[in-house]
Structure 1
Amino acid sequence: MDIRQITPRYSVTPQITPEDVAAIKAAGFVRVICNRPDEENPAELQAGAIREVVEAAGLDFVVLPLTHQTMTPENIALQKSAAGDADGPVLAYCASGTRCSVIWALGQATDGKSSDEILAATAKAGYDLGQLRPRLDALGG
C-alpha cells in the first residue's frame, strides 16, 4: 500500500486489498472512498468485497467509480461531500491514486483555490497533474 497525503484530511492510494484495511484503520482513517470501477478489478477486489472488510473494521465506505470521462460537476460535488463530511481523515483509492487526485484537484478549483496551490499539493504527493491546469483555471482555480 502506498498512501500519499494530499492534505491532512485527504490521502490517496492505489488499489487496496482486504489485507490493507487493518493498517488503514491504524493510520487513523475514518472513511475509505472507492473511485475505481468494478469492471477494472477481479471479484475479490471489487467495491462490494472491499466494503465488507472496511465496514467490519468500523470505517465508513463510499463508492464513487470514476473514469476521466466521468469527472463531471456532479461527481466532483459528490467526492467533495464524501471527503468533506467525514469525521476525520479520508483515504481515496483507484488504480494508481491519480483519479482520486484529479477529482480532489477539480473540487479544490471549484472552491476557488489557485491552480498553483492545487498542483503543488498533488505534486508533493507524487502526482504531476500539470496537464489539468487549463481545466483548473476554467473552474476558477
Structure 2
Amino acid sequence: MADDIFRTLSDSVLASPQIQVEDVARARDQGVTLIVNNRPDGESPDDPQGPEIKAAATAAGLDYVAIPVTHSGFSMPQVDAMADALSGAQGKVLAYCRSGTRSTLLWAMARAKQGESPDAIAEAAAAAGYDVTPVRATMNALAAQAND
C-alpha cells in the first residue's frame, strides 16, 4: 500500500481504505496501537477479512476491535463503541473500511458525542480528504447534548 494511504484525522487517529495484512506492521511502525475494523466480513470476499487482520494485529502486538458498519447506516451503539475504542487506546488508532469514509464518519460522530466542535471535526476530516456532510446534523446534535 502507498505510504499516504493512512490519512491523519487527528494526532491520535488515522483512517484508511481497506488494509492488507502487510500494512499492519507499517501501522505499528507509525505508532498505531489499535486497529479498528469498520468493515463487515464478506463485504468484498477478495479483500482480507477481519480474522486475517486481527491475527496480523495480534502477531504485531496491536489491539484490534471490529465495529462493522453496513451500508444501512450508523447506530448509537456503534458510535459508543468507537468512542470507547478511541478513549481506551494507548497510542494511535487506525480505523479502516472500504474507502475510509465510514471510519471517518463514525470517528466524527464519536468525537462530537465527546463534545468536540463539529466545525473542527469537519475541518480535520476535510484535510484528510473526507466529507462529513452526511452525518453533520447528527454531529451537531451529539455535540449539543455533550455540551449541555
**Off by >4 Å, runs of 4+ in structure 1:** none
Q: Alignment partner for residue 124 of structure 1, among 112, 124, 127?
A: 127
On the 8 A contact 1:43/1:49 being kept in 2, the answer is: no
Separation in 1, partners of 2:47, 2:75: 28
Q: Who is 2:101 aligned against?
A: 98
TM-superposed deviation, 1:6: 0.6
The one-letter amino acid paired with 1:58 is: G
Q: Who is 2:12 aligned against?
A: 9
Instruction: Indicate the larger mover: 20-29 or 129-138.
Output: 129-138
Separation in 2, partners of 1:68, 1:95: 11
Q: Who is 1:19 aligned against?
A: 22
Residue deviations 1:77-133, cap 9 Å, x none?
101111210111110100011001000111122122222111111101110122322
On the 8 A contact 1:36/1:95 being kept in 2, the answer is: yes
Equivalent residues in 2 for 1:1-141 (5 A)? 1=1, 2-42=5-45, 45-140=48-143
Separation in 1, partners of 2:71, 2:112: 17
Aligned residues: percent identity? Answer: 39
TM-superposed deviation, 1:68: 4.6
Instruction: Tell me how many residue pairs correspond in the alignment.
Output: 141
Separation in 2, partners of 1:27, 1:52: 19
Instruction: Indicate the larger mover: 5-14 or 113-122.
Output: 113-122
Aligned residues: CA RMSD: 1.6
Q: Secondary structure at the match of 1:71?
A: coil
Looking at secondary structure, tell me which structure has more helix per residue: 1
| TM-score, scaled to structure 2 | 0.88
Q: Secondary structure at the match of 1:18?
A: coil
TM-superposed deviation, 1:43: 6.5
TM-superposed deviation, 1:69: 3.1
The one-letter amino acid paired with 2:96 is: Y
